[in-house]
Amino acid sequence: MNKLIDIILPTEQLEGTQATFSTWLVSTGDRVEQGQPVAELETDKVAMEVCAVASGVIDSLTTRQGDQVEPEQSLGTILVGGLATPKINIGDQGQTSDSTSQAEQPVATEKNVAQNTISTDASDLVSPAVRRLLHENNLKLENINGRGKRGRVTRDDVLKFIKSGANISAVKAEVSKPVSKPTAATNPVSSFGHSMPVARPLTGEMQPHTNMRKSIASHMVSSLLETSPHVTSVFEMDMGNIIEHRKWHKKEYLECGVKLTFTTYFLAAMAKAVTTVPQVNAKFHEEALELFSDVNIGVGTALGDAGLVVPVVQQVQSMNLFQIAKALNSQTEKARNGKLTTADMKNGTLTISNHGVSGSLFATPIIINQPQVAILGVGKLEKRVVVEQINGEDVMVIRPKCYVSLSIDHRALDAHQTNLYLSEFVNIVESWGE
């Protein structure tokens, strides 16, 4: 017996965020299996796929690119137990067509044949996530083999192409070709032999904001200008002990498939310091400060021009160093491969921005990730000459140092708690292994 089943976005998959429909991965009449991706959506943080809830034939596609999608909303239908008669197809072609009786079907024309030919090949149809990857890496769609439905290029196809290094050098060489020299007509030369550029109207290319960029902009303005009065305190920190500890242990971690990074130590120290200053791991309410028992640390992860995401390592206070490293590896790997879900960025209570990896000494203020009340920043590690007292004498020595900062919501914390937390954090790092 035939049965129509709705294609929906489950409530738990969206988890309170807004979603915009990107593209259909199938067309009406296509056979699909249960669990097969059939559509792609974009939220303000991640791209996600909607999967078929049952095996059958696509009967209708009722959602267009750019439509806002609500939880449990019907995006289309799947016919289970029979062959579908296409009713509505709004997918990649963006057109709606009602099914008609056999007597009403027009005779095939050259235009109809052309349209049918196009519908069998989806190699030119790509999602916003794929277009973004192509733009960021200066790649051309035609250079990549699509392994999706009807030859469609997927995000995984682009990532695999980038990892393989195929034709990348050729593409970059083409991008870096020298610009031709201006002629005398466009760049006249004065009597002294110097170029005299002619003023001309400014021209530019409009690049529409992604949902992620819009969300980041709104979040930053709201956090800094509308919600939290930001104050930042900066300390200097010696990294010598954790450098030594990491040198002795990173090989054994790698043998277990886990990278031991400096950020792992920072997360462990952040959680330990919370026991001294629990007000840092909190949420501000008008009537009270809510102190959390779990220390769930968000790790700011840059995605190049695409923006910034903050995957969360859950319950850091209950893990040892190896467990923290393994959880951190998993979250950052998913972030860089575009595999994060909304659940991966949920319930953060404290955040770290390791901005030093890109060469920054310190940044201020680092915008607080609402509704948290503090965010830690760690700057670039570098060797510095410092004065230490050895055998009663002042001696200049070279030490590995970095700046560490804490930006706080001044409604919830004052200088006393801020500096006490940073002092404890620095002490834990500097005395590691002693």
* DSSP character string of 314-334: --GGG--HHHHHHHHHHHHHH
Q: What is the pLDDT of residue 106?
A: 42
Q: What is the pLDDT of residue 29?
A: 87
Q: How far apart are CA 32 and CA 368, in angstroms?
A: 44
Q: How far apart are CA 7 and CA 263, in angstroms?
A: 41
Q: What pTM value is reported for the model?
A: 0.63
**Bridge partners, 289 (sequence order):** 284
The domains of the chain, with CATH numbers, are 3-99 (2.40.50.100), 131-171 (4.10.320.10), 229-430 (3.30.559.10)
For residue 275, what are its two tokens? 């026991």
The burial class, CB within 10 Å (0-12 / 13-18 / 19+), for 205 is exposed
Q: How far apart are CA 211 and CA 128, in angstroms?
A: 10
Q: What is the pLDDT of residue 38?
A: 86
Q: How far apart are CA 195 and CA 44, in angstroms?
A: 47
Q: What is the pLDDT of residue 72?
A: 81
In this structure, are residues 414 and 231 in contact, taking their beta carbons and an 8 Å threshold?
Answer: no
Q: Which residues contact 150 (CB under 8 A, 6 or more apart)?
A: 120, 121, 122, 123
Q: What is the pLDDT of residue 326?
A: 97
- Segments of the chain scoring below 70 in pLDDT: 1, 13-17, 44-45, 82-129, 149-150, 166-194, 434
CA angle at residue 308 from 299 to 209, to 5 degrees?
Answer: 165
Q: What is the pLDDT of residue 167?
A: 53
Q: What is the pLDDT of residue 116?
A: 40
Closest by CA to 24, choosing from 54, 52, 45, 44, is 52
Length in residues, the chain = 434
Q: What is the pLDDT of residue 125?
A: 62
Q: What is the pLDDT of residue 219?
A: 80
Q: What is the pLDDT of residue 181?
A: 52
Which amino acid would we find at residue 115?
A: Q
Q: What is the pLDDT of residue 112?
A: 40
CA angle at residue 369 from 241 to 272, to 5 degrees?
Answer: 35
Q: For residue 273, count other CB atoms closer than 10 A to its CB.
A: 26
Q: Which residues contact 308 (CB under 8 A, 6 or more apart)?
A: 216, 300, 301, 302
Q: How far apart are CA 141 and CA 302, in angstroms?
A: 24
Helix or strand holding residue 156 (H, E): helix 155-164
